Structure 1
Amino acid sequence: MVLSLSDGMIPNVHSENALGISVHKSADINLLAEIADRFINETGRNVCLLCFNTGLEDDVSVANQVYGIMKNKHMTEIIRYTDINDMLKNIKRCGAILGIRFHSTILAIRMGIPVVPIAYSDKTKNALDEIGYSGKIYDVNNIDTDEVLRSILNAVPYKLDGNIIKSAENHIKRFDEYIKRQC
């Protein structure tokens, strides 16, 4: 359903070339802090710790832990999910996304932002396979910081096939019609 995001919903926000890191409890916070600090040291650009789940899984707690370990706090911002439009604007600020959360990875692809996916479940791997993604997908339990950082610095947008977007839009319409018939 995330692929059905209409072009009109993608905000016209100038990229700051920040690195967006969508945090998740399955990732090693020390490695995330190291990647963030090294990115800042090597590029002089900011990092946004993106918190998609502010409820049960509490990404904010994870982001606070990563932030607490980091050396470059002055160049790091914790972004809490408040609504979809605000999150889309913050994602659009980024020049690359280190996507641990499924939605961050798919949104980055849909928005034309380079992404380095780190999968903690088969859901991400399967979705990326379905859309023909050919880039490297890292396993959350096997992260090489040097390799991931190189991937971030060299990341290019994945060109999503227009037929996939159209199919996703049609899927949403059919789903909406089905729900309306059930009510």
Structure 2
Amino acid sequence: MKRKRILVNAYFAQNLGDDLFLKVLFDRYPNVEFHLLTANEKYKIVFQNYRNVKIIKTLSVKIGNRTVNLFNKVHDCIVKYRNYNAFVNIGGSIFMESVGWEKGLKSRRHLPEKFKKVNKNTYIIGANFGPFEDDLFMRKHKEFFASFDDICFRDNYSYTIFGDLENVRFAPDVVFSLKSKYSAIPGNNRVIGFSIIDVEKRKGLKHYFYKYIEKMSEIIKNYIDLGYKIKLFSFCEKEGDLRAINFLLKNMESQYAKQVAVVSYSVNINKFLDEYKTCETVIGTRFHSIILSLLFNQNIFPIIYSDKSYNVLRDINMESNCCFIKDIEELDVKKVIKDSLDNKLANRSLMLESEEQFRKLDLLLV
């Protein structure tokens, strides 16, 4: 029997959260062949142990400070759409309003339209919508979404915007369905993990960078004084996590800085997860630092840089113990330490519910 074949579009920036989406997808369908269209050569290493994953290299050029993917110019020559069973767009914050979004949407339409012309199914898995300010942005995306066979959002906020479309559903984040040894509950290792981001790179948050770094440094030092080990996690070097960590350590007193371990994700997902699950508590800024801590049954105190994090916490009734970056200066360190204690996910059924992300794709592939 011929192996089914899927063309996958994702965010190929070696961002742990997005790479975990791909890992869950590949693990769920081991007998399906997945083709990834990316100019990032590192993905040959990230998924080198998956025999069902192949990289189809696209072209990119440097224009000024921007890297532009020439995907639309070349992929019609290298992709034979009839040879695929479906197109899957999997990712989290992939529908955010930004400058030039109209051109981006035009480019995004290309692949689904090609697949529909040859009567092949198209899917969007795991996304959230926004943030956005322009109603035109929402209306144009509604037209775009209507052409897909199935769209499963990861938060109720996004679902309610497009819930009148019959092909739109909601299920918890894809990473909740991460399997194997990573579902184990960590032991009490007196290790505190911190997910740090580069606030300067975030829209509307640039002027909070120093306040954010100072507060994270203050919390770290308090935990060290209490006898805890500290691990700082960089989820995506390209987006500045490691830069922010290095800046934090450079400006911290040496007697504290030398007691801090840095764990930076690059290409080895399993190694990163092994380090992460040793933490008893995580002060998490990255969206998927929160999801992983909930999955691993760790104590968690979320630092909110985007409404997407708050929306998910609200969906699971865990929005009480957290802090928005805009309020970071007023955050009481003692409150963080107190509120994070036993702040865990009560509803463990989310792990099963998240598999609903793949319900429609299962009908095609299982």
TM surpasses 0.5? yes
In the alignment, what sits opposite 2:233? Answer: 50
Q: Which of 11, 30, 34 pairs up with 2:218?
A: 34
Pair 179,25 (structure 1): closer, same or farther in 2 beyond 3 Å: farther
SS of the equivalent of 1:77 reads strand
Asked whether the equivalents of residues 2 and 106 of structure 1 are also in contact (C-alpha less than 8 Å), the reply is yes
Name 1:130's counterpart in structure 2.
315
Distance change in 2, residues 1:25/1:10 (3 Å) = same
Alignment of 1:14-29 (within 5 A): 14-26=187-199, 27=209, 28-29=212-213
Three-state SS of the structure 1 residue aligned to 2:318 is coil
Structure 1 window deviating more from structure 2 (107-116 vs 12-21): it is 12-21
Question: Per-residue CA shift, 1:115-152, capped at 9, x if unaligned?
Answer: 00010110000011112215312011212576244322
1:176–1:34: structure 2 CA closer, same or farther, 3 Å change rule? same
Q: Mark the CA change 1:176 to 1:139 in structure 2 (over 3 Å): closer, same or farther.
A: same
1:1-12 map, 5 Å: 1-6=174-179, 8-10=181-183
For 1:113, the equivalent position in structure 2 comes to: 298
With structure 2 as the length reference, what TM-score do the two structures score? 0.45
Q: How does 1:87-166 map to 2 (within 5 A)?
A: 87-144=272-329, 147-154=332-339, 155-166=341-352
Q: 1:51 to 1:169 in 2, by over 3 A?
A: same
Larger radius of gyration: 2
SS of residue matched to 1:118: strand
Which of the pair is proportionally richer in strand? 2
Question: TM-score w.r.t. structure 1 length?
Answer: 0.85
Q: Sort the Cα spacing of 1:32 and 1:84 in 2 relative to 1 into closer, same or farther, 3 A.
A: same
**Stretches (4+) displaced over 6 A:** none
1:34·1:145 contact (CA, 8 Å) conserved in 2? Answer: no
In structure 1, give the amino acid aligned to 2:190: N
User: Are the structure 2 counterparts of residues 102 and 175 from structure 1 closer, same or farther at C-alpha, using a change threshold of 3 Å?
Assistant: farther
| CA apart distance, 1:9 | 2.7
Gaps of at least 5 residues in structure 1 are none
Amino acid corresponding to residue 257 of structure 2 in structure 1: K
CA 1:35–1:12 in structure 2 vs 1: closer, same or farther (change >3 Å)?
closer
**Cα deviations by residue, 1:131-177 (Å, 9 ceiling, x for unpaired):** 22153120112125762443224521413413322110232x32643
**CA positional deviation for 1:15:** 4.4
Q: Give the counterpart letter for 2:246 in structure 1.
A: N
Q: Percent identity?
A: 24
Tell me, yes or no, if the aligned pair for 1:15 and 1:92 is still in contact at 8 Å: no
Answer whether contact 1:22 1:99 (CA < 8 A) is retained: yes
For the residue of structure 1 that corresponds to 2:349, the secondary structure is helix
| Number of residues of Structure 1 aligned to a counterpart in Structure 2 | 178
RMSD over aligned CA atoms reads 2.4
Hey, which of these two has a bigger chunk of helix by percent? 1
Gaps of 5+ in 2: 1-173, 200-208
Deviation at 1:102, TM superposition (A): 0.4
| 1:2 Cα deviation from its structure 2 partner | 1.5
Assess if the C-alpha contact under 8 Å between 2:185 and 2:296 holds in 1.
no
| Cα shift at 1:12 | 7.0
Greater mean alpha carbon deviation, residues 122-131 or residues 23-32? 23-32
